[in-house]
Amino acid sequence: MTTQRIESQDIAVAGLFQSFYAVPDYQREYVWSTEQVEQLLTDIHGEMANADPELSPEYFIGSIVVCPRKNGLLELIDGQQRMTTLYVTLCAIRDRLLALGDDTLDVLNLQIAAGSIDASGYEVRRYRLDLQYEDSGDALTRLADGKEIDSTGTLSKKNIANTHHVVTRFLISEFAEDTAALRRFYGYLCNKVKLIRIQTGDVAKALKIFETINDRGVGLNSMDLLKNLLFMKATEGQFNQLKETWKDLQDTIFDMGEKPLRFLRYFIFSHYDVDLLREDEIYGWLSRNEATAGYSSDPIGFARELVSAVKAYRNFREGKDERGVENRYLENMRLLGGSAARQHLILLLAGRNLSSDLFDRLASEVESLFFCYMITREPTRNFERNFARWATELRSITNAEELETFFNRRFLNEKTKLSARFQDAMGRLYFGTLQQYRLRYVLAKLTQYVDLAAYGETEGTRWLKYYTSGGFEIEHIFPQKPNPKAVEEFGLIEDQQVSQRLGNLVLVEKSINSSLGNRAYSEKRPIYLQSKLLLTRALSERPQVGTNTRIDRAVASIEPFSNWTESDVLQRQRWLAQLAHSVWQVPASAAASS
């Protein structure tokens, strides 16, 4: 058996850039920001304590991992962020010296690019650092040639241009027009700033060393390490395909503004029997569960599954099903959850292989339970863990009977335990208790429920966004700033926040709301009758449509109000709290039933 040699040497920047390096096309983008570049330069300058660089100590700035390729190239497996920054720094020093009229740059120019002889015997210009990933474009070669970069391009182009700007600004700030001082800094950088260069015989070994160096996430997150892990398991012939698949994954995550590690964590919860996992534990779990995850035998298949999942995840967030078709319950979750709620996506990812009808049922039940958790202020970590635990069961469900059994065992059980808290929360709900978009969701759901009971499912009643859109506004029945007549009619006020109670709120059309103003209830009653919303009209009088019609049955339990006082507000809130049990399918508590 042949033993592969691993060479390790501490090497100064001057020696480092006597070799030629290529950053392979599967590497991530150049991501160093102003803060990281400034920190590196400040640290180097701080170590150069003496006017004579020869008296200053050596300064180590980390390690790089390389393996040899054809034509004398070293493939840079780890350390491209640091190496790219050093290379840009050399270009910036050259540009600054030229600006100061110092053109004695033979050695510096050779550290940036040099000539070599190709197979046909011709001289060719070669850059010491070649970024081969698509995102970098021609940014580095343009810098090497002393040209400007289009800083409006890709992320890497912008960051490379910014690094050149940051270094130039640093050189001007620290050395002004003192060419000798700038030269001393350049001399210290070349001769005393060192790295550890680890060289192996092939890419697989280099990737393994990269993993070992970064196994605690030092400088990298679990997403970067997972990418490396997949490339370790892939053959070189699969690299291009894996690179394109990974790019699709990253682009999808970036375009929706999601945190990559949150998606990856929820992916694991939804696909495997895991219910507790911190973001900093993701890579360790993947490393220990190679067989379970299946990435070892089929790294491209695993990456494709990630892409499939992240596109479903994106659609769910946008209120659509996996196919991208708008789903009313997922749209409701978007209206309820705002930009922060994500925990429900664990269950949706786990159930995405259900038939469309069954998935619709799942989405409906998830919305209902999620609201129950939200209104009762159940700690997020509790229901997130519930969702992760239940995902295992959900993945095995294949038919409607199994799904209903699952709902009864898990969802209904949770709602029953939360029933008393649910009743209390709805009974005490104020305008300021929830974010306004969530309060609008609550009023819309209550209003929609009554309309659905009366009119059935129509294009107007089917979608909650019809009720939450700009066509309706939240009306305070007893005005926030009442006129004298309204105050007189309302009578004694014991609760100074009574106007903000749920019982005092109703949805009305914008056109109607503008005519309601701060009037007394006696003047508002006939105006409410103009509304298309049954729950709003029923404030004034119960609609009379035949005998035992669907509308009659829908409003049978609604008592209209001839007057409007604080006791009426409380009475209506109690009734709305009871209605909420039906809307979100929460069993009535013993206290509420008695």
DSSP annotation string for 240-280: HHHHHHHHHHHHHHHHTT--HHHHHHHHHHHHSS-----GG
Query: CB 330: neighbour CB atoms within 10 A?
Result: 26
Average pLDDT score over residue span 152-174: 90
- pLDDT computed for residue 220 by the predictor: 46
- pLDDT computed for residue 2 by the predictor: 45
Average pLDDT score over residue span 27-56: 81
pLDDT tens string 199-212: 877 655 555 555 55
pLDDT tens string 552-565: 666 667 788 999 99
Q: Which residue has the higher pLDDT, 517 or 3?
A: 517
189 pLDDT more than 70: yes
pLDDT tens string 368-389: 999 999 999 999 889 999 999 9
590 pLDDT more than 50: yes
- pLDDT computed for residue 66 by the predictor: 84
Cα separation, 119 vs 115, in Å, equals 13
Q: Which residue has the higher pLDDT, 207 or 450?
A: 450
- pLDDT computed for residue 162 by the predictor: 93
Strand ranges (E), 73-112: 73-78
- pLDDT computed for residue 308 by the predictor: 95
Please, which residues have CB within 8 angstroms of residue 502's CB and are 6 or more apart in sequence?
426, 429, 430, 442, 443, 573, 576, 577
How does strand 20-23 pair with strand 73-78? parallel
Q: Which residue has the higher pLDDT, 144 or 29?
A: 144
- pLDDT computed for residue 3 by the predictor: 47
Share of the chain above pLDDT 90, in %: 49
- pLDDT computed for residue 443 by the predictor: 95
Name the pLDDT band for 535 (thresholds 50, 70, 90).
Answer: very high
Q: Which residue has the higher pLDDT, 174 or 122?
A: 174
Share of the chain above pLDDT 70, in %: 89
Q: Considering the chain, what is the average pLDDT of its residues?
A: 86
Name the pLDDT band for 301 (thresholds 50, 70, 90).
Answer: very high
b/e string for 575-593 if b means 16 or more Cβ within 10 A?
ebbbbbbebbebebbeebe
Average pLDDT score over residue span 122-130: 87
Q: Yes or no: say if 355 and 313 are a contact pair by the CB < 8 Å rule.
A: no
253 pLDDT more than 50: yes
Least confident stretch, 29-33, 233-237, 357-361, 531-535? 233-237
Least confident stretch, 65-79, 208-222, 378-392? 208-222
96 pLDDT more than 90: yes
Phi-psi region of 116 (alpha: psi -120 to 50; beta: other; left: phi over 0): beta
Token pair in block for residue 546 = 């035949």
- pLDDT computed for residue 286 by the predictor: 85
Average pLDDT score over residue span 335-350: 86
